[in-house]
A and B are shown apart, each in its own frame.
Chain A
Amino acid sequence: MARSTFVYVTYIRTTPEKLWSALTDDVEFMKQYWFGVHCESEWKAGSSWKMVHPDSSITDAGEIVEADPPKRLVIRWRHEKKPELKAEGDSLCTMEIERSGTAVKLSITHTIESEPSQFITAVSGGWPKIISNLKSLLETGAAVLRDPYSAN
């Protein structure tokens, strides 16, 4: 199977609307859980998307394939900086939000048509920390990790 995928799921005690906003247009909120990074887009199908770091550099870019607030967001996502990751081309990141009892289930599926994929290895290391921070920020108002490598 020439495809690499990961699927990350978390349950967050919040509303689909708040989660959608945290994943898209709430830039200041995003910086708090994404270690200073934020994404810029109009968040509509066809609009461009880019990931902006605190020093204003852009490492990843692409476009919105599907946007159905507050339920489903699909981003065509390319890494732009490291040549070996850039060479792997487009990946597809799907975020799905659904109510589950008193919480909201967030599923993030990231796929690339190559196996093994250094891109998938690179992003899969970051997502659990980002999602875990997002959960704690939405539920308690405080992010647990300030910097991705602080545990050492």
Chain B
Amino acid sequence: MAELHDTDVLFKALADPTRRKLLDLLHAHDGRTLNDLCEHLDMTRQGVTQHLNLLEMANLVATVRRRREKLHFLNPVPLQEIYERWIAKFEKPRLKALGDLKRRLERTDG
């Protein structure tokens, strides 16, 4: 069942190399079937299905039925939220610190 994307579910989904590889595969080519994804992984079909289910629960993968096929798409919306919540906010002070350091070092040199 789809969940409200809870940060714990999201980070747990990302904390696994196979699931990250699945995201990379979808990033390289979106809208893949389970068979297609299985070809790139040394793992049983059942194992891949389980990983995909976890990614779907975390809302990192969205699926669409097209005729008899189920296609998997990378959903970057939760990653954008991680970016805003956990990266952008820390990035600015760091860049400022780096800029200050550069200025200080250049002043000493001169």
Cβ proximity bits B29-49 to A, threshold 8 Å, 1 near / 0 not: 011000000000000000000
Q: Known contacts being A105-B2, A109-B64, A128-B76, is A10 close to B59, with CB within 8 Å?
A: yes
Q: Tell me if A6 and B2 are in contact (CB < 8 A).
A: no
Chain B nearest CB: distance from A131 CB in Å? 5
Q: Count contacts on B: residues with CB < 8 A to the other chain.
A: 20
Residues on A with C-beta less than 8 A from B31 are: 1, 5
Q: Give the residue name and chain of the B residue nearest to A124 (CB).
A: B76
Q: Give the residue name and chain of the A residue nearest to B83 (CB).
A: A151
Cβ proximity bits B61-87 to A, threshold 8 Å, 1 near / 0 not: 010100000000101110111011000
Q: Known contacts being A6-B30, A11-B5, A103-B4, is A132 close to B84, with CB within 8 Å?
A: yes
The dominant DSSP class at the B interface is mixed
Contact of B84 among A1, A5, A145 (CB under 8 A): A145
Cβ proximity bits B1-27 to A, threshold 8 Å, 1 near / 0 not: 011110000000000000000000000
Count A-B contacts at CB 8 Å.
52
Q: Give the residue name and chain of the B residue nearest to A1 (CB).
A: B31
Q: Tell me if B91 and A151 are in contact (CB < 8 A).
A: yes
Q: Tell me if A9 and B80 are in contact (CB < 8 A).
A: no
Q: How far is the CA of A11 from the CA of B91 in the complex (A)?
A: 27
Residues on A with C-beta less than 8 A from B59 are: 9-11
- A interface residues with partner B (beta carbon < 8 Å): 1, 5-11, 13, 100-103, 105, 107, 109, 124, 128-129, 131-132, 135, 144-145, 151
Q: Does B101 contact A (CB under 8 A)?
A: no
- B interface residues with partner A (beta carbon < 8 Å): 2-5, 30-31, 59, 62, 64, 73, 75-77, 79-81, 83-84, 88, 91
Q: How far is the CA of A109 from the CA of B65 in the complex (A)?
A: 12
Chain A nearest CB: distance from B70 CB in Å? 12
Chain B nearest CB: distance from A152 CB in Å? 9
Q: Tell me if B73 and A10 are in contact (CB < 8 A).
A: no
Chain B nearest CB: distance from A140 CB in Å? 12
Q: Tell me if A128 and B73 are in contact (CB < 8 A).
A: no
Q: Tell me if B88 and A151 are in contact (CB < 8 A).
A: yes
Residues on A with C-beta less than 8 A from B91 are: 151
Q: Tell me if B75 and A9 are in contact (CB < 8 A).
A: yes
Q: Known contacts being A10-B59, A11-B59, A101-B4, is A5 close to B30, with CB within 8 Å?
A: yes
- Apart from A132-B80, A132-B81, A145-B84, 12 more pairs, CB < 8 Å: A1-B31, A6-B73, A7-B73, A9-B62, A9-B77, A10-B77, A11-B2, A11-B3, A11-B4, A107-B62, A128-B76, A128-B79
